Amino acid sequence: MGLYKLLIFLFDLVELKRRITSNHRSETYLNQLAASKGIEFGCEILEAEYSVVTDKIGRLQDKARQLEASIESTRKEVEEPTEVEVELKRRLGQLTDHLIQKQAQVETLSSEKATLSFRIEAVSRMLEENKSLNMSHASSSDLESGILFASVSRSLAAAAASPETEEHKEITTNG
């Protein structure tokens, strides 16, 4: 019986070894299975992230197109004046030309005023000189006073007869 027990023991030992090997293989398979499940899960996560990133890129590209369209629209608005702006520019040009004309008229009138003031001063000096002469020659004859009156009259007539410029006439008629 000893041999029989030994054979059973050996058989049990071989069976145990087979089970251990089988368990080891099962563990390896389970580990591989778990690893492949982990890889699959990782792939699913990566695919989900890729989908999210792709969607976000698409939204950003749409937003970029909208911004480019908005920029182009704004550029056109800035570069192409509206009808109101065109009319305002035209009116500004007219007013500028009118202002230049009025400034020229003011300069002409100022020059004429200076000339007339100079003439008035000259005539006033002449009157004063003649007046002082008349006072000193109070006993002079009426003939001399007639000459004085005639010279003053000629000076005043010359000042009054000076030709007016076109600008002066235009201003006096236009008010």
pLDDT tens by residue, 143-165: 444 554 555 566 556 655 555 54
- Total domain count for the chain? 2
Residue 95: inside a domain: no
Question: Which domain, by its residues, includes 21?
Answer: 1-80
Q: For 114-153, how does the pLDDT look when each residue is reduced to its tens digit (9 = 90+)?
A: 999 999 999 999 999 888 887 766 555 544 445 545 555 6
Are 108 and 164 contained in the same domain?
yes
What are 124's two structure tokens? 């006033």
Is residue 148 within 8 A of residue 133, CB to CB? The reply is: yes
DSSP state of 162: S
Mean pLDDT value across the chain: 77
Are 127 and 161 contained in the same domain?
yes
Are 75 and 122 contained in the same domain?
no
Q: For 29-73, how does the pLDDT look when each residue is reduced to its tens digit (9 = 90+)?
A: 666 666 666 667 777 887 888 888 889 888 988 998 999 999 998
**The pLDDT of residue 143:** 47
d(CA 32, CA 23): 14
Residue 96: inside a domain: no
Are 76 and 107 contained in the same domain?
no
Residue 160: inside a domain: yes
Q: Cβ atoms within 10 A of the Cβ of 148, count?
A: 19
The three-point CA angle 81-83-85 to 5° equals 55
d(CA 98, CA 157): 35
Are 118 and 154 contained in the same domain?
yes
Q: What pTM did the predictor assign? A: 0.37
Are 16 and 72 contained in the same domain?
yes
Q: Which of 20, 46, 80 is the last residue of a domain?
A: 80
Nearest alpha-carbon partner for 134 in 122, 51, 81, 142: 142
Are 74 and 116 contained in the same domain?
no
- What are the E-state strand segments in the chain? none
Residue 85: inside a domain: no
CA 131 to chain centre: 70
Residue 161: inside a domain: yes
Are 23 and 60 contained in the same domain?
yes
Residue 175: inside a domain: yes
Are 173 and 107 contained in the same domain?
yes
